[in-house]
Structure 1
């Protein structure tokens, strides 16, 4: 029997420039499975200050933050968790007595995946992108022990700033570089986007790499991931990132960590 909403039901939400269904379906599945009196809804806004004011005023318990609000939301928060403070990028807000605290579960998820895949930190990497998610990935690489890397970004100011902050180099294009690890943190390959069928890196660079990481979560198999698998390259996918970061958000919102089997069922349901 479906849960009955009531005056005590806690609301969690997301704010994104292009809302999707994954978070809504993932969180609501877990609320249902675990018998929790919560509900989750995705929103977008053209007035971030007013939206966050509403979160504070209405006692909305938690909020996921996606592009393009991950950095601009910081000015409206009361406190930053270390996961967000160092990289100055937030993907999760939690309310506590009208105080809003920002976290970055993207960073937590990426750091966990880098550890579990046992990548060689002596490898050189190239990371394409310079936005809020790119910050989370670059800092996770740095904190995981990667010392040699390139931030590939056409936006020189943002690219240089990220490279300098993490101790890496900036380049506008990959060019002749052939690093062991390639990381895409741009919308290239995203379903429904203008570059949905485009490889995020040149085919020759992919062939020369040792491993690849694409943070694009939808589709599960981006052109980059498909091509890398065809070449027998080990990969880390955005589908893995989106589930891990959503689990960490769920724990922040509820204080409960679901078991692995329940998480897997929620992830399958969310992708349908």
Structure 2
């Protein structure tokens, strides 16, 4: 039986073991997916130990996505540019790191909205780690216009400046973004604002939102944030972060096995674990 897993600190409430474990079972693959609770000071020896015990691949969650990089043998160019790894595969006894967060977001967006995204006018809220993965990935796929608004303008400017994939991007204050909101066909909310337990919060006003816009929030706890509720009230189509979580997991599964899992069943599995719209405090970082 092959062994896979996820490393993080904390890790007890990860949703990945159930989601990936059921996917292995449904595909008839003899494998076990295990949550490994690894402290930062033990990361290097843990990565060596996982190779020693025959782990075939693993996911990486907070706080190890960047710290794990020096202990891998090779990094995919996109993951290297982003500076974070969430999926590792074992190939010829070498650890190879990938980042499927941005690609998972993109595939979920295409599945729930439209396939061709290149000509969309995009506003991204936030300039943290999740924003970086989404921003770099979307630009790498040829989307031309992505503006970024953030509470700290310097972080938005740095994110744009450092990105190796060039497009037409401007850093905006939150007020500037609110004033220009009607110009955007796609709004992507990448911050933790509105996540349980601060469910009443919203990153910016949607008064000027184009009702034909598509609004995505990477949060899925709660399933529908205050931000998404406001967008829906103004006529926009919306998407929460569940699809991103499922698709990034499916991409990891494909890299490990060469097979594509059933997305619908993976989604149902995660929803069962979350209990519908129940807010579970330990699931803030539920990878």
1:18–1:173 Cα change, 3 Å: farther
Whether the 8 Å CA contact 2:4–2:58 is kept in 1: the answer is: no
Whether the 8 Å CA contact 2:40–2:64 is kept in 1: the answer is: no
What's the secondary structure of 1:247's corresponding residue? helix
What's the secondary structure of 1:266's corresponding residue? helix
Residue pairs, 1:215-254, within 5 angstroms: 215-254=218-257
Residue pairs, 1:74-85, within 5 angstroms: 74-85=69-80
Q: Deviation at 1:237?
A: 2.1
Whether the 8 Å CA contact 1:134–1:185 is kept in 2: the answer is: yes
- Give the whole-Å Cα distance in 1 for the aligned partners of 2:202 and 2:241: 15
Whether the 8 Å CA contact 1:128–1:183 is kept in 2: the answer is: yes
Q: How many residues align?
A: 263
- Give the whole-Å Cα distance in 1 for the aligned partners of 2:119 and 2:24: 42
Match of 1:71 in 2: 66
In the TM superposition, what whole-angstrom CA distance separates every residue of 1:57-104 from its partner, at most 9, and x where no partner exists? Answer: 433222212233323322221112244234332111112344111111
1:256 maps onto 2:253 in alignment: no
TM-score (norm 1): 0.82
- Give the whole-Å Cα distance in 1 for the aligned partners of 2:158 and 2:224: 31
Match of 2:171 in 1: 170
TM-score (norm 2): 0.78
Q: Deviation at 1:206?
A: 4.3
1:100 aligned residue (79, 92, 95): 95
Match of 2:136 in 1: 139
Match of 2:206 in 1: 203
Match of 2:50 in 1: 55
Structure 2's unaligned 5+ residue stretches are 276-287
- Give the whole-Å Cα distance in 2 for the aligned partners of 1:30 and 1:270: 14
1:203–1:92 Cα change, 3 Å: same
